[in-house]
Amino acid sequence: MRTVPNLLTVLRLIAVPVMVLCLFEDHEAQGQWRWIAWVVFVVAAATDALDGYLARRWEVVSSFGKLADPLADKALVLGALVVLALQSETPWWPVIVIAVREAGVTIGRLAVARDVVIAASTGGKLKTALQVLAIFLLLLPTHADWVDVVGWWVLVASVVVAVATGVDYAWRIGRVVMAHRSARLRSGRAYEAAADANAAGMNPAEANSTDSADAMEQG
């Protein structure tokens, strides 16, 4: 049971190529394959809420889930948006902005993953919800123009939120990097003090006491 949330995340990743293949198989006909792609997207998107709920309820939140869950979301959203852009159903600029934002955030989170896992923020979850709603409407096989119009403006709103949350993630990642840089500098100074103490025939505790006394005199 503990592996179910992570299994749902993996299944969501597997759903991405299935959805993309169905969209290409449809050949922009808005037919059966489009409906299958839409259903695959809806079911895959639903697992996002389900795996998070189960992980919290069963208290099995894992580092893998914190990293893989948003990656699966990004793959699902970008997979759908790229195909829609290739088929000229949406312009490319929202796709490019979202892709650059997601790549930057993902690289930053992975860069500090060894030290700390930066989980998805509330703003990041709102961004994902808007993107899912937009694609839900844009993929829906219908000839009602208002559906595409609403879907387009929801997509634009998701781009605005994506940029804002991207800046927030950059700030949070930067804080982690600076904190660990400061820790390394402190560790380096302590090592140098210990080495100087050994060279002078003192133990590290005496060296620290001497440094503290010197600092008090200079203060």
| Model pLDDT, residue 40 | 95
CA dist., res. 159 & res. 151, Å (int):
12
CB 29 within 8 A of CB 88: no
CB 48 within 8 A of CB 73: yes
| 172 to 73, 108, 126, 158, 177: CA distances (angstroms) | 20, 10, 18, 21, 9
This prediction has a pTM of 0.75
- Structural fold of domain 4-181: Four Helix Bundle (Hemerythrin (Met), subunit A) (1.20.120)
Average pLDDT by consecutive 10-residue portion of the chain (219 residues)? Answer: 80 93 89 94 88 74 74 91 94 95 86 69 86 95 90 96 91 79 71 66 52 40
| pLDDT the model gives residue 144 | 86
The answer to whether 112 and 176 have CB atoms below 8 angstroms apart is yes
Distance CA 106, CA 101 (A): 9
User: What is the distance between the alpha carbons of residues 194 and 211, in angstroms, rounded to a whole number?
Assistant: 11
Separation of alpha carbons 101 and 67, rounded Å: 16
Q: How much is the pLDDT for 219?
A: 37
Q: How wide is the angle at C-alpha 95 spanned by C-alphas 94 and 97, nearest 5°? A: 65
